[in-house]
Structure 1
Amino acid sequence: MASDAFEEIAETFEFLDDWEDRYRTVIDMGKSMAALDDAFKVPATKVDGCASQVWIRPQIDGSGPDAVFDFEGESDAMIVRGLIAVLHALYSGLSVKEVTQVDAPAELGRLGLNDHLSAQRSNGLRAMVERIQTVAAAEAG
């Protein structure tokens, strides 16, 4: 289960044969994201386990399992900023219950990211997914 926005990314990646083109697409997605206000770049929003600086600020509309999940994020590394944009497409607009049911490794695997990210980037991506899943699970109750 993934959002429509993520499905669009997956479709785009099907047409991109070269990993370099996919890499550029991810970076471009990151460039198009709004910057996270410096006031939110605090230890509470910082994601541990990432080689670069990463902040994720969850935004939940409502309460309980049907609350709608969204987040803002930023990184000091362009590829990681793009990965945040991919995760935003994967999760944004889903209920917190749906967020907890997303098989992120499988969905991201559809994009071929697992095969082309360094071990450090893969660990950072896992850490971001874990943070998102933890926040959603806590809200879903």
Structure 2
Amino acid sequence: MTLPENAQAALHAFTNCPGWEQRARLLMQWGERLPPLTEAERCEANRVSGCESQVWLLVDTQGAHWQFRASSDARLLRGLLALLLARVNGLPPSELRQLDPADWFTQLGLARHLSPSRSNGLQAVLARMQQLIALKTQG
């Protein structure tokens, strides 16, 4: 499976962090990189169900590849979303379907710091990505 350039950069940055405090700080910095969504984009139709915090997800296509945009009202979650988007943006749908977010966060050294509800929320985001692709390819 291909590792997009942004994902390679994330993997390098996080694997070079000596401890959780540095990773948490880096996670917040990654969250600040997410382009903000407009008020109109933060609507119920773009909201991901299954997350304790509010999460919004949008998708666009660039050729045969998918580009997702996301945001959350929770700072830590914005960082996790930024890392998830770094991993998935630009992938073809076949690779996106095979992606295991738990494995990705394990590689980054973050998995053991994710609460069960955050892990479930990230799974919900990935499931919503797949739904959006299905909707876009039908329409």
TM over 0.5: yes
1:120-139 residue pairs with structure 2 within 5 A? 120-137=117-134
Question: Identity of paired residues, percent?
Answer: 36
| Per-residue CA distance 1:39-61 (angstroms, 9 max, x = gap) | 11112210111111100011123
1:31 paired residue number: 32
- How many residues are treated as equivalent by the alignment? 137
Shift of 1:75: 0.5
- Scaled by the length of structure 2, the TM-score of the pair is 0.87
SS class of match (2:71): strand
- For the residues of structure 2 that align with 1:108 and 1:140, how far apart are their CA atoms? 28
Root mean square deviation of aligned Cα: 1.8
Q: CA deviation at 1:139?
A: 5.1
* Equivalent AA in structure 1 for residue 30 of structure 2: M
What TM-score do the two structures reach when normalised by structure 1? 0.86
Give the structure 2 partner of residue 116 of structure 1. 113
Following TM superposition, by how much is the alpha carbon of 1:95 offset from its aligned partner in structure 2, in angstroms? 2.0
Which consecutive unaligned segments of at least 5 residues does structure 2 have? none
1:49-64 alignment, distance < 5 Å: 49-62=50-63
> Structure 1: any 5+ residue segments left out of the alignment?
none
Map 1:1-141 to 2 at 5 A: 1=1, 2-62=3-63, 67-137=64-134
Q: Deviations over 1:62-107 (max 9, x none)?
A: 4xxxx21101111111011111111110011122232223232212
| Distance in structure 2 (CA, Å) of the matches to 1:112 and 1:126 | 18
